Structures are given as C-alpha cells and as structure tokens.
Amino acid sequence: MKSLYSKYLDNSIAFCILLSIALNLIIETLGRRSPALCLSYLVHSPQTFFYNTFIIFATLSVVYLVKRRIFACVVVSILWLAIGITNGIILGFRTTPFTMADFALVDDVFKMITVYLTVIQIVLIALAALAILAALVLAFIFTPAVLYGCHALHVPMNTAFILLTGSQIFAYGVYYYFLLYILKQWEKRQGI
C-alpha cells in the first residue's frame, strides 16, 4: 500500500485531481441538498460530473504558475466553495441556480438581503468572511514557497500545459453538450 501511495499519489497533480473530485462532490451535495442525491447524480451523469471536475482541476492547475502553491490552492478551493455555498443558498429560495447574471444584480442584493436572511445570519456571514480573510492572511504568511518549478523555463511550459489541457476540456464539453442538444432536437421531431 505504501508503494502505491508513493508511486502514484504522492505528488501534487494527484492531489489536485483528488481535491477537484472532493470539491465537486461538496458543491453538488450543497446544490442538491443531499449526499444521496449527489451520489445518484454521480452514478447517472458521470460525464457531466467529471466534466465539472475537470473544470475545477483546470482552475487548480493555475497553482503551478506561482511559488506559493499551497496558498494558491487554498484560495482557489475557497473560491469554489464560496460559489457552491452561494448556489446552495440560492437554490433554497428559487429553482434557478447561481449564474453570471446574478453578478449583475449585486447592487440589488444589499437592498433585498433582509428579505432572505435574518440579521443574525447576516452578522454570521460577515464574521465568517472576516475569519476566512484572517485565515488567508495567516496561510500566506506561514505556507512555504516552492523553491523549484518556477524557473524561467518551467513557467512557459506550465502555462502551455494549462492552456492545452483547458482547451481540450472545453472542446470536449462543447462537443458533448452540442451532441446532446442535437439528439434532444431529433427526439422532439421524431416524437420520442
């Protein structure tokens, strides 16, 4: 078992892959409000689940461009968790998920926040945000910087790897969803 760990899992790429899967499981659980529904989604729609996991992995792969990789990994993970928590809260009040259109409504959020949340909840959210900010400052101070892997030759290679991987994942997703759209349109026309 130790040789399996040291051979395959004791590297940062494997860690990022496992972290991507864990983050996606947490986000889907929050969105579906049940671990059982999340696992059902994983079983019935594995391609979509792993496509979402690859999107998270692509954002996590940016950590290879900086010296403070642990800190960058924590920041990216917190951003994904914040989006997942926000989506879970929004799905509790309406049927549509959190989208980019919601960012355009940020000004209206502060006017309507008391409709959806109590004063205690607002204070707790503010305290949680301050605690996360303090934890990020401490993480930046105390996490070690990687002294290798950020040389002038490695940065362009890492950037090329990230862009190539990201473009392939994006192309697969567009192709997959385009085929699903065509199939659904064909089924409508056939009356299936």
pLDDT digits (tens, 9 = 90+) for 126-172: 999 999 999 999 988 888 877 655 554 556 666 677 777 777 777 77
| Residue 137 pLDDT | 92
Tokens encoding 139? 């993480």
For 165, what's the count of Cα atoms within 13 Å in the CB-facing half-sphere? 16
Report the domain count for the chain. Answer: 1
Supply the pTM of this predicted model.
0.71
Range of the domain at 20: 2-190
pLDDT for residue 37 is more than 80: yes
- Predicted pLDDT at 89: 84
Q: Which amino acid is at 135?
A: A
CA-nearest of 156, 164, 169 to 65 is 156
Supply the pLDDT for residue 22. Answer: 94
